[in-house]
Amino acid sequence: MYRVLVADSISDKGLRALEEHPQFLIDKIPQIDPEELKNIINQYDVLIIRSRITVTEELLENTQRLRLIARAGVGVDNIDVAAATRKGIIVVNSPGANTIAAAEHTFAMMLALARKIPQAYSSMQVNRWERSKFQGVELFDKTIGIIGMGKIGIEVAKRAKAFQMTVLGYDPFLTEDRAKNLGIKKATLDEIAFHSDFITIHTPLTKETNSLIDRSYLEKVKRGVRIINCARGGIVNEEALLEGLESGIVAGAALDVFVQEPPGPELKHPNLIVTPHLGASTKEAQEKVAKEISQEVIDILEYDSIRNA
Ligand code: MLT
């Protein structure tokens, strides 16, 4: 019998296959705090998480039993994968299930940013009627720079094309042919800075992408650019972004992810709109993610078969 700890809010419907499997016994403690997790982790063979929990080397020192960490989502940056591997613990994720949710949230943020919807809503909440204050801009005929042309970047590109935007895509793995097939232009990071009215990020957080959009990058952007980050906190340097917003170089920004989640009170600006890491938070995506993870856990522990390690 394998014992599984679900240490985050994961869709019950998606976990059904695992719950109904006779070889798995599941405990759900979605709000577990790090101290409690440290105390009980050694009772489990499998740990299932989203982004709330950080799996550190120190946490893993408390277990001899854990065999598998399943991340219900794309990013594994909240897991010390090297430390897990050293202990022989397999780490798996669910790379495709969130794609549409993340692309749609990016568009929701981009439209909200362009039309100042959160600011207008807040103003009406205090009984104001400020029509001229909230004049926006259109997406039509604008240039969008997409940094990271993986699954999510591609879905964002398709939607941008439907809005009749010119799409520039940067990705070290993007070929000219692929760009042509998608109807977009392959671009360098600098070209994206020089020409984009909107810049959206869709890369993982790595050593290379940490602070990719920093002070020096913002010196190159088109004045009045709008920046969206629904990928990972830290890819856009928050201090540099606030400076850019203050100087007007950046006309607006939309962040769904933060260096520290939740972020501190200093991360505020009238032209900055924020959501609390909701990119993957749709009913459909959460069911798909949990279903995919459940099947992976069963396949690995029951049949020794790995898909997304
Ligand atoms: C992801 O990496 O897929 C998301 O950040 C998952 C989440 O919302 O926790």
Q: What is the pLDDT of residues 216-233, one digit of tens each?
A: 999 999 999 999 999 999
Exposure b/e, 239-272, CB count within 10 A at least 16 = b: ebbbebbeeeebbbbbbbbbbeeebeeebebebb
105 assigned to active site = no
Ligand 1 centre and the CA of 184: distance in Å? 27
Q: What is the pLDDT of residues 118-154, one digit of tens each?
A: 999 999 999 999 999 999 999 999 999 999 999 999 9
How far is residue 196's CA from residue 117's CA, in Å, rounded to a whole number?
Answer: 22
Q: Of the residues 261, 284, 302, 307, which is catalytic? A: 261
Contact criterion met (CB below 8 Å) for 72 and 15: no
CA distances from 160 to 42, 140, 165, 180 (A): 47, 9, 6, 15
Contact criterion met (CB below 8 Å) for 221 and 198: no
Does any ligand 1 atom lie closer than 6 A to the CB of residue 74? yes
How far is residue 157's CA from residue 152's CA, in Å, rounded to a whole number?
Answer: 9
Q: Most distant CA pair in the chain: distance in Å?
A: 64
Residue nearest to atom 4 of ligand 1 (CA): 73
User: Which atom of ligand 1 is least distant from the CA of 52?
Assistant: 9
All structural domains of the chain, each given as residue ranges with its CATH number in brackets, are 2-97+283-303 (3.40.50.720), 99-274 (3.40.50.720)
232 assigned to active site = yes
Q: Of the residues 105, 159, 195, 232, which is catalytic? A: 232
How far is residue 142's CA from residue 63's CA, in Å, rounded to a whole number?
Answer: 53
CA 280 to chain centre: 7
User: Which atom of ligand 1 is least distant from the CA of 289?
Assistant: 3
Query: Average pLDDT, whole number, for the chain?
Result: 96
269 assigned to active site = no
pTM reported for the whole predicted model = 0.93
At residue 240, the pLDDT reads 98
Q: What is the pLDDT of residues 164-204, one digit of tens each?
A: 999 999 999 999 999 999 999 999 999 999 999 999 999 99
- Kind plus residue range of the DSSP H or E element containing 93: none
At residue 162, the pLDDT reads 98
Question: Does the pLDDT at position 306 exceed 80?
Answer: no
At 170 the three-state DSSP class reads strand
Q: What is the pLDDT of residues 263-280, one digit of tens each?
A: 999 999 999 999 999 999
